[in-house]
Amino acid sequence: MADWLMRSSRSLLFWLLLAAPLVLAQNSTGRIVEPGRKTAVKKSPTAQQSPRSKRVPVTGNPIQRVRKKAPVVTPTSKGRRSRVVKAPGYRLILSTTPESKVEIDGNGVHRAGADGQLILRDMAKRKYRLRISAPGYESWEGELTLVDSVTKLTKRLVRVPTTGELEIAVNESGAEVQVDGSISLRSVKGYPISVSGLSPGVKQVQVSKAGYDPWQSSIEIKAGQSRQLRVELVPRLNPTMIEVKGGTYRRGKDGGAKDQAPSHEVKISSFEMSRSEVTNIHYKFFIDATGRPAPTGITYGWTGNDFPPGQGERPVVFVSWEDAVAFCKWLSERTGHRYRLPTEAEWEYAARTVSSNYDSVGSIWEWCLDWYDPQSYRKSLRVDPRGPAEGRKVRLLGFEAPARVMRGGGYGRNNLVSRAAVRNFFYPDRTRFDIGFRIVREVDEPTR
């Protein structure tokens, strides 16, 4: 029975809901209004509005609406004038050189403050062309696209240069480089010298090194530019010579060593004697060009083809007579002049007449052209005498062989004239720590 009542009540409820009348709507006054029927509602006097203060319906996104239809008029009370609301724009914060001028798209001109800051507001979202300039600075131009609501740009101008730069490359180390006679630097082979801060104008450059011909040139320096200069120093192959005018003198010395007698008068033709012995730096040019071995000896030697540091102007030693002759032959071929070793008679004559003009340390023996013979004075010629045609064997330190003449030997410690007649000898294929050589240039016309 209970089940039947439950099913009956559910069916009855269903049909009651289906047959129920529609719910009537109410208007704002509380009156019943049938569906589909309009009922006028009388407005109160306080609710009336003037046409000027009539509200404008706002729809959609407010920010998008303002950007499309700016400006917007907002209502005010008591008849006051309406306020205009500007659309929100993009902002550019620029950091640049103080007091610089900023041009936008070639039209708008702005000026940065004393701190270099410039803030531009209410800019549109697009690409701009900027130009920044200031007196004494290089102008800058570029493009900038505003994407974010706040864009920051830092652009410091570069000062217009007022000086120039000179880069000098020298093919030899240790050369003295002077610019306008005031700036002095030392060169390093393979590493250019940079001289900055030079005022614009023509500069004189001089480069010098012992044993090389001096080099000089001029170059124009411009502000903001770097100029390059390559210097090729040329070896001064022709050594400094002293003119020895021909004449007669008394050769040898009676009462001295047996090989210096008898003294006799000889006549010498004019020639030129080198002011100093051949130096290390000149001998280096020779071995660099010919591949001849560098001088070596006990506790002394060159490193490759480089002489010991600081000895470029000192006489070369540990050279044999054969080395000295080979040097003279090479020098003659390179210069076109006739160079050779001096004869005994020429060496002694120059020592007696022009040695006061020598640049010499006077501490070494010097090779001469002649073979050594202790009896040669007894049978020598009286005009431009040369030594014997072949050497006489002499014994020294357990060794016996023909020898060549040497002259000089430590004369820096006393008067050279008093030692001018002193003779000595050594073997032509051997070297010693105290043997070098001086050369003669014949005064004939050059061979080329």
Interval 91-106 mean pLDDT? 92
Residue 60: band (very low, low, confident or very high) from pLDDT cuts 50, 70, 90: very low
User: What does the pLDDT read at residue 65?
Assistant: 42
Residue 270: band (very low, low, confident or very high) from pLDDT cuts 50, 70, 90: very high
CA-CA distance, 270 to 383, in Å (whole number)?
A: 12
DSSP 17: H
Look over the chain and give the mean of its residue pLDDT values, rounded to a whole number: 83
Query: What is the signed CA dihedral for 322, 387, 358, 351, rounded to 10 degrees?
Result: 160
Percent of the chain whose predicted confidence (pLDDT) is above 70? 77
Interval 67-94 mean pLDDT? 59
Q: Is the pLDDT of residue 46 over 50?
A: no
Q: What is the pLDDT of residues 183-220, one digit of tens each?
A: 889 999 889 999 999 999 999 999 999 889 999 999 99
Q: Is the pLDDT of residue 32 over 60?
A: no
Q: What is the pLDDT of residues 318-362, one digit of tens each?
A: 999 999 999 999 999 999 999 999 999 999 999 999 988 888 766
Q: Is the pLDDT of residue 31 over 60?
A: no
Residue 363: band (very low, low, confident or very high) from pLDDT cuts 50, 70, 90: confident
Backbone angles phi, psi at 9, to 5 degrees: -65, -35
CA-CA distance, 193 to 175, in Å (whole number)?
A: 11
Least reliable range by pLDDT among 50-64, 160-174, 289-303, 415-429: 50-64
Q: Is the pLDDT of residue 47 over 50?
A: no
Domains of the chain as residue ranges with CATH = 90-159 (2.60.40.1120), 164-231 (2.60.40.1120), 241-441 (3.90.1580.10)
Interval 63-92 mean pLDDT? 55
Helix (H) or strand (E) holding 66: helix 62-68
Q: How many CB atoms lie within 10 A of CB 156?
A: 13
Interval 239-254 mean pLDDT? 94
Q: Is the pLDDT of residue 67 over 50?
A: no
Q: Is the pLDDT of residue 78 over 80?
A: no
Q: Is 266 exposed, middle or buried (0-12, 13-18, 19+ CB in 10 A)?
A: buried
Predicted TM-score (pTM) of this structure: 0.62
Q: Which of 73, 71, 141, 54 is nearest to 104 (CA)?
A: 141
CA-CA distance, 374 to 15, in Å (whole number)?
A: 164
Interval 94-115 mean pLDDT? 91
CA-CA distance, 57 to 73, in Å (whole number)?
A: 12
Residue 58: band (very low, low, confident or very high) from pLDDT cuts 50, 70, 90: very low
Least reliable range by pLDDT among 34-43, 224-233, 399-408: 34-43
Residue 163: band (very low, low, confident or very high) from pLDDT cuts 50, 70, 90: very high
**Interstrand relation of 25-26 and 32-33 (parallel, antiparallel or unpaired):** antiparallel
User: What does the pLDDT read at residue 9?
Assistant: 60
Interval 304-325 mean pLDDT? 93
Q: Is 335 exposed, middle or buried (0-12, 13-18, 19+ CB in 10 A)?
A: middle
Q: Is the pLDDT of residue 410 over 70?
A: no
User: What does the pLDDT read at residue 134?
Assistant: 93
Tell which wins on pLDDT, 224 or 9.
224
Q: Which of 349, 421, 422 is nearest to 385 (CA)?
A: 349
DSSP 315: B
Q: What is the pLDDT of residues 137-148, one digit of tens each?
A: 989 999 999 888
Q: Is the pLDDT of residue 80 over 70?
A: no
User: What does the pLDDT read at residue 132?
Assistant: 95
User: What does the pLDDT read at residue 391?
Assistant: 85
**Which amino acid appears at position 36 of this protein?**
G
User: What does the pLDDT read at residue 387?
Assistant: 87
CA-CA distance, 175 to 191, in Å (whole number)?
A: 12
User: What does the pLDDT read at residue 66?
Assistant: 42
Helix (H) or strand (E) holding 198: strand 193-198
